[in-house]
Amino acid sequence: MATKTFMGFDPDTGVPSEFEGKLARKTQKAIGNTEKAAFRSAMGIPAAAEGLVPSQNLADVDDVSASRDNLAVLSSTEVNDRQLSKAPSSGLDFTPSTATVEIPDSALLSFGDGTTDKPFSISAIVEIDDFSSQTFSIMSKMSGAYEWWFLVDTNGYPTVSLYDNGLTNTLVRENQSAVDTGKRLHLAATYDGSGLIGGLKLYVNAVEGSNYADQSVGSYVAMHDTAAQAEIGEGNNVHSDGRIYSCVIWNRELSASEVATLAANGNQVPVADQWGSNTELLTDPGFEDWSSGSNLSSWTEGSSITIAQDGVNKYSGTYACHYTSSGSTIASGVLHQLRQGSLVPIGCNRVSVVVKNAVSGVLDVGVNNDRWVTFDGTSLTDRSSEVSSQYPGSELLSYDLTDLGSGWYRIDLVFKLVASSARDFVLGGTGQWYIDDASCKPAGAVADYAFDAIDAVNGVLPDRSSNGLNGAITDATKVRADRGLHIDANNPSADEKLLTVSVAGTEKASIDEDGDAVVQRLNIANIPTSSGGLTSGDVWNDSGTLKIVT
């Protein structure tokens, strides 16, 4: 008979210890090799047998307190069929009627302008009761107008749909491998903003779909920014049957490794992605506000360069910046540049620059004196090793080049910056360039909903990001919430102990696969002293004698 032992962090000392019948407070660091080794040592488990679950599926363990305390679970090779892990919340249990969470329209939740799309992603933890009668909608923006929809269809296929101003031109991709009902799942949809079916990806428990089908209609160009509200648990007036525990929407494309991290950590947003927004970090990003004919307001000119306003050679607006460098070729770092100081935040950021080459040279886009990319007028070159070597942990997450016509190009970057010194935004290089627009905005999660933070009195689901996109819970009588510890053991052996509470290595209580509980001592307080109002099976105290209502 196998025994499973829970491990946690002692709330007073912060070191790994046995479960001891209480949950530890949330730790402020990830469980790393040092903590794992301490677990192994405490349990006498060899390193080769160690592994933190979940191995495939997210766990069926609900959080047990509103503070989302951390519960670490040690696994050996004996428990690979378990689904045990920390859940992010108690969840909302939607019934297939009228219940939904409504989120007012915001530009943060739209990812197209009718001409071009922008990348975005949705990640969620769900437990589906039924999808055969109607689709299980995770999140959508298609109330009265159509933008996007992430769902599980009536075949059980995860599906993501993008709409080009209605239903006649759509981009729809589904993974034709049905998901399970009655199990907690981490589902994610990512989009690279390309307008192509291949730019959509779907993940179930961190595994990308391998059975894709294109269900698109018409000729899709891009989504439109409509006034539609976003909804959780509903899409196209269809309501979900099941539970949603967490839902996060991102203004960038998540990588496969990032999805895997979310599936393992309970869909909790990493610090670097807190929080995405449309807040412009640059001053005068369109280069329209000039303090004089030769200087840009709030920008600093580097050595050996001159800048001038140009109202003819521009892509849009009133002016473009005519940048001329008389310096030599840059070997390392951005030496001749336009610079705005100390404004790029630590974490994930999105940068977009619209440029056109005037006289042959190389344009650099970077931070401080190091480059993310260089542009020769027609193609990009990755130079991000300069930044990452200077600031370890920094990385270029994605980069893209779009031909806008007539010699104009748009450079798009998403990067994570780890830097303790000045974090200047820099454009520089050699030759001559027309720079028409430059944008730098925080990237990451634009809305984060964990359903343990529900304001039940006012029917509000708070957005944990800084963007204030709170959701209103409608028809609260049809939405149920609970919490507790849930353990789902697949194929347990006879009399197998699924939960054991030990103190200093001595077992104090256990529950086996039949639900039989064994405890050393049972102290029951405040049980009824009369059978009045009780139902069959209830226990009451008749002057010191326990009785069961029949």
Q: Is the peptide bond before 148 cis (omega within 30 degrees of 0)?
A: no
- Residue 13 shares a structural domain with residue 123: no
pLDDT by residue, tens only, the chain of 550 residues = 333 334 444 444 444 444 333 333 333 334 445 554 554 454 444 444 333 333 333 333 333 222 222 223 322 222 222 233 334 456 788 877 777 899 999 999 999 999 999 999 999 999 999 999 999 999 999 998 999 999 999 999 999 999 999 899 999 999 999 999 999 999 999 999 999 999 999 999 999 999 999 999 999 999 999 999 999 999 998 889 999 999 999 999 999 999 999 999 999 999 999 999 999 999 889 888 877 777 787 888 887 888 888 999 999 999 999 999 887 554 455 567 888 888 899 999 999 999 999 999 999 999 988 899 999 999 999 999 999 999 999 999 999 999 999 999 999 999 999 977 778 999 988 899 999 999 999 999 999 998 776 765 678 889 999 899 999 988 765 565 554 455 556 567 777 777 788 777 788 888 887 878 888 777 777 788 888 888 888 888 888 888 898 8
458: exposed, middle or buried (C-beta count within 10 Å: 0-12, 13-18, 19+)? exposed
Contacts of 6 by beta carbon, 8 Å cutoff, 6+ apart: 18, 19, 71, 73, 74, 499, 500, 501
Contacts of 385 by beta carbon, 8 Å cutoff, 6+ apart: none
* pTM for this entry: 0.72
DSSP conformational letter for 504: T
Q: Name residue 312's amino acid.
A: V
Domain end marker among 413, 442, 471: 442
Look at the chain and report how many structural domains it folds into: 4
- Read off the CATH number of the domain in which 333 is found: 2.60.120.260
Q: Which long-range contacts (CB under 8 A, 24 or more apart) does 30-39 make?
A: 30/265, 31/72, 35/9, 35/72, 39/7, 39/72, 39/74
Domain end marker among 442, 467, 495: 442
- Tokens 């974490």 label which residue? 347
- Residue 71 shares a structural domain with residue 118: no
- Residue 510 shares a structural domain with residue 532: no
- Domain containing 378 equals 300-442
286 part of a folded domain: no
- Residue 425 shares a structural domain with residue 500: no
- Residue 121 shares a structural domain with residue 219: yes
